[in-house]
Chain A
Amino acid sequence: MSQNTLRRVSPIVYVMVLAAMVIFLIPIYMALITALKNPAEINLATAWNLPSYPYWQSFVEAYNMLLPSLRNSLVLTITGTVLSALVGSINGFVFSKNRFRGSEIVFTLFLFGMFIPYQIILIPLFQLLRAIGIYGSLYGLILAHVVYGIPITTLIFRNFYDQIPDSLVESARLDGAGFFGLYGRLFLPLSVPGFVVVGIWQFTQIWNEFLWGVTLTKQSSQPVTVGLAQLAGGQAVNWNLPMAGSFLAGFPVLLIYIFFGRYFIRGLLAGSVKE
């Protein structure tokens, strides 16, 4: 960006980006003011007005209603993220530094799995989970997230390990490091940033997932996205609760995004422009 250090930025640019910023923040504004209004104060005609006083009770109520599904999501997301990251790491190690004949074809076969619309596997998945008796439990959802997470986690780790110079691998091999020694003593300790990128990516993906949540669970194993959809889906909804619920359901990923945004974007780009 050296070209800009010499130029003055035109005021038009500032007007444009400010306008865009305001428009981008409108949904947050609307959600926040509605969540903070006393239900009696919520009125379509005054939808844009600030609350006359902040009413925090909606957050407490929404939290109590979403608590079981929040707990499910937390268990599901952490287990799914950890397992799929571990599998992706060792796979990425193979595809990056232990290529064999046909490994590129196998890798492409892997990648295909992350681009399919998941409707195409939904009916057999539903059948399989019913057949092995874990339909409607968290285990079924965890299994789905781990298996269908393999392509993206493998891809991100492969790209990450590609940056480790081959010469380093060669010299470690000359020193007698075998396959697992190389992975365990050299690659795993170097993998922390890779695990951060993959972890953040998988965490947000699994936390936000809805299709499997709504088709493969029962009331007791619902993730928070399904809980929120139910909270908001009733006919005569009090809008303060869905809005407060949206904040609660969006809060963990928003927190991650604000603190680890850089890594989130890296995961994002890994699935698109790499190669």
Chain B
Amino acid sequence: MVGSKRNSVYSMIVLLPSLILLLIFVYGFIGNSFYVSLTDWGTGAALRENPVKNLIGLENYRRLFTGAIHERFRQDLINAIFYSLFLVAGTLGLGLFLAIMLDKGPKGENILRTIFLFPMALSFVVTGTIWRWIFSPKGGVNLIPTWFGMERGDFLWLSSREKVALFNWQSVPQIIALILFVIFAFMLYGGWKNGRRTQTIWGAVLSGLMLFYAAVLHYLLPPILPYAEFHGFSLATVGIIIAAVWQYSGYTMALYLAGLRGLPVAMYESAKMDGAGDITYYLKIAIPNMWPITLSAIIIISHISLKLFALIFSMAGADNASTGHPSVLMYLITFRANNFAVGAAISVILFLMAALFIIPYLIQSYRARR
């Protein structure tokens, strides 16, 4: 039941302060950051009382993606994608593994769970400081081979400049077009198979357009950069990924363990009756049944991967370009170089990346609640 009319009035009065604060501090500020990103604030005396701000449209974004001086931003963006992919794969894989092990019911489960989860309670600054010591070039992890009579490792965990899986930034539009082509081709196929006309037509048109761009237009249009610029997976990020996986696997373990415990025992028993071993049970029955958990874990972890600022800052330093992330670059450009407009543009890009995951998630949870 919904309360009486008077209750509704009280409800709104009580909520009003919070609502106003959030409208200003969340929605107003997001709008303001977006506005700042369209200006040239930061070229003159940026910290003056009334700094000069001229609207320059999307110029900051154009420079970030195709300007000569922002090469680091482009590598940072690539790093961010790899951080997300590896963090999701690592925490889901390890978390699931740990959950299955605990689901088998070893003794001392409480202690084990506590040990796997405690890193989550700690600040990235605390764990980052410790991991930085573990990954120091001449000590820590690099000493492990010497235990087995081998030479000390010489990998520069946090400062290696090596990159693998190189690609030319000029071909990024083509790559994106090809990815979209595959997505739209699936849409076309699904529509055609299920006899949905509008979906078939849209799928055909969009996939055709993408293929046309990738195969023809891309070569006719001027390149986005006047010269070839190579980016790839920066090996120095491996150490940070390991530390982040260590810190968040306990979390996915907790999610999956709750999921496994939530599955009906009958499911396990009937699988056993049909002659399925443990491996078959987990692979074919338990994991597919936990798809909703996997989905929300992917969303949450992708979202956490955008917040690696403190870990990168304390492990590798803000100035370390090999381990860079847009959030770190945003800090450098805004608070060290006082270039607020470009900093705001980077923050908007980060925000849009997060919104990609969050808005569908919020809409879905809103529908579920109603």
Say if the beta carbon of B244 comes within 8 Å of chain A: no
Given known contacts A116-B354, A229-B125, A106 and B15 CB-to-CB distance under 8 angstroms: yes
A-chain residues with CB within 8 Å of residue B246 when the two chains form the complex: 23-24, 27
Are B33 and A268 closer than 8 Å at their CB atoms?
no
Cβ-defined contact, A124 with B33, below 8 A: yes
Question: Does A192 lie at the interface of the complex (its beta carbon under 8 Å from any beta carbon of B)?
Answer: no
**Residues on the A chain within 8 Å of B103, using CB:** 1, 4
Identify the interface centre among B104, B120, B340, B346: most chain A CB within 10 Å of its CB.
B104
**A150-200 contacts to B (CB < 8 Å):** 150-151, 154, 166, 170, 173, 178-180
B327 touches A14 (CB 8 A): no
Instruction: List A2-58 residues whose CB lies under 8 Å from chain B.
Output: 2-5, 7, 9-10, 13-14, 16-17, 20-21, 23-27, 30-31, 34, 44-45, 47-48
Q: Decide yes or no whether B276 CB sits under 8 A from chain A.
A: no
In the complex, A154 Cα to B21 Cα: how many Å? 14
Most chain A Cβ neighbours within 10 Å, of B2, B125, B261, B314: B125
Q: How far is the CA of A67 from the CA of B197 in the complex (A)?
A: 69
Nearest-Cβ distance from residue A16 to partner chain B, whole angstroms: 5
Question: In chain A between 100 and 128, which residues have their CB closer than 8 angstroms to a CB of chain B?
Answer: 100-101, 103-113, 115-125
Query: What residues on B are CB-neighbors of A30 within 8 Å?
Result: 130, 133-134, 140
A211 touches B309 (CB 8 A): yes
Q: Does B231 contact A (CB under 8 A)?
A: no
Q: Is B115 an interface residue (CB 8 A)?
A: yes
The segment from B63-71, B159-167, B250-258 that touches chain A is B250-258
User: With A and B bound together, what is the CA distance between A31 and B21 in angstroms?
Assistant: 41
Q: How large is the interface on A (under 10, 10 to 19, 20 to 34, 35 or more residues)?
A: 35 or more
**Known contacts A119-B346, A243-B133, A254-B122; A4 and B104 CB within 8 A of each other:** yes
Q: Are A99 and B2 in contact (CB under 8 A)?
A: yes
Contact (Cβ within 8 A) B106 A13: yes
Instruction: Tell yes or no: A137 within 8 A of B by CB.
Output: no
CB-CB under 8 A from B27, the residues of chain A are 109
Let me know if A246 is at the binding interface, CB within 8 A: yes
Asked if B44 CB lies within 8 Å of chain A CBs, one says no
Interface residues of A in 197-249 (CB under 8 A from B): 204, 207-211, 214-215, 225-226, 228-229, 232-233, 239, 242-243, 245-246, 249
Is B26 within 8 A of A121, CB to CB?
yes
Contact (Cβ within 8 A) A117 B327 = yes
Task: Say yes or no: A215-B7 contact (C-beta < 8 A), given A45-B138, A116-B30, A246-B126.
Answer: no
State whether A115 touches B340 (Cβ < 8 A).
no
Verify if A257 is at the interface (C-beta below 8 Å from B).
yes
Give the complex CA separation of A247 and B38 in angstroms: 44
Say if the beta carbon of B132 comes within 8 Å of chain A.
yes
Which residues from A are CB-within-8-Å of B130?
27, 30-31, 243, 246
Q: Known contacts A45-B138, A115-B358: does B123 contact A250 (CB below 8 Å)?
A: yes
Q: Which residues of B contact A (CB under 8 A)?
A: 1-3, 6-8, 10-12, 14-15, 17-19, 21-22, 25-30, 32-33, 36, 97-98, 101-107, 112, 114-127, 129-134, 136, 138-140, 143, 246, 250-251, 254-255, 258, 261, 265, 268-269, 293, 296-297, 300, 303, 306-307, 309-310, 313-314, 317, 327, 330-331, 334-335, 340, 343-344, 346-348, 350-351, 353-354, 358, 361-362, 365-366, 368-370
CB within 8 Å of B: which residues of A? 1-5, 7, 9-10, 13-14, 16-17, 20-21, 23-27, 30-31, 34, 44-45, 47-48, 87, 90-91, 93-94, 97-101, 103-113, 115-125, 147-148, 150-151, 154, 166, 170, 173, 178-180, 204, 207-211, 214-215, 225-226, 228-229, 232-233, 239, 242-243, 245-246, 249-250, 253-254, 256-258, 261, 264-265, 268-269, 271-273, 275
Q: Jot down 28 A-B pairs with beta carbons below 8 A, ordered by A.
A: A9-B105, A17-B98, A21-B112, A27-B130, A34-B133, A44-B139, A90-B14, A97-B3, A98-B11, A105-B366, A117-B347, A119-B309, A121-B29, A125-B25, A150-B22, A178-B10, A180-B10, A215-B331, A215-B334, A229-B125, A229-B313, A233-B314, A239-B133, A242-B129, A256-B121, A257-B118, A272-B255, A273-B296
Pairs A-B, 7 closest by C-beta atoms:
A4-B105, A208-B123, A44-B139, A47-B139, A210-B310, A257-B121, A121-B29
